[in-house]
Structure 1
């Protein structure tokens, strides 16, 4: 997880703790899950790209 993702998750945690609305809490929680999933997918795709670049059989 990079610094931007961590900062964004921290901001969402703060907003979630400040609200009393169930809908807003759910929205913040779902947004955090999406951010974590996107981070995982980005990391996987970067690894796949690195593997393809250094694999002469895929050139």
Structure 2
């Protein structure tokens, strides 16, 4: 199995175990207990969301 397929399988299985976050914020105490791969995933999702919002703002603020 290729490295890419193995990483995808591992990511896919991690995602299938995910549950909705129980609160609106992550406390520093809870963040400290997360595994590095979970922190990286949250940071990636957050960066993707922020980039999407920035792109939409550019579209919304263009002059007609």
Does residue 26 in structure 1 map to residue 48 in structure 2? no
After TM superposition, list the pairs within 5 Å mapping 1:1-59 onto structure 2.
11=24, 14=26, 17=31, 19-48=33-62, 51-52=63-64
Gaps of 5+ in 2: 1-22
Q: What's the TM-score, normalizing by structure 1? A: 0.52
Q: RMSD of the alignment, in Å?
A: 2.6
Aligned residues: 40
Structure 1 residue 40: Cα displacement:
0.5
1 or 2, which has the higher helix percentage? Answer: 1
> Where do 4+ consecutive residues of structure 1 move more than 6 Å?
none
Give a deviation string over 1:11-58, Cα, whole Å, max 9, x none: 4x517716421111000001110111011000001112xx12xxxxxx
Report 1 or 2 for greater relative contact order, CA contacts < 8 Å, sequence distance ≥ 6.
Answer: 1
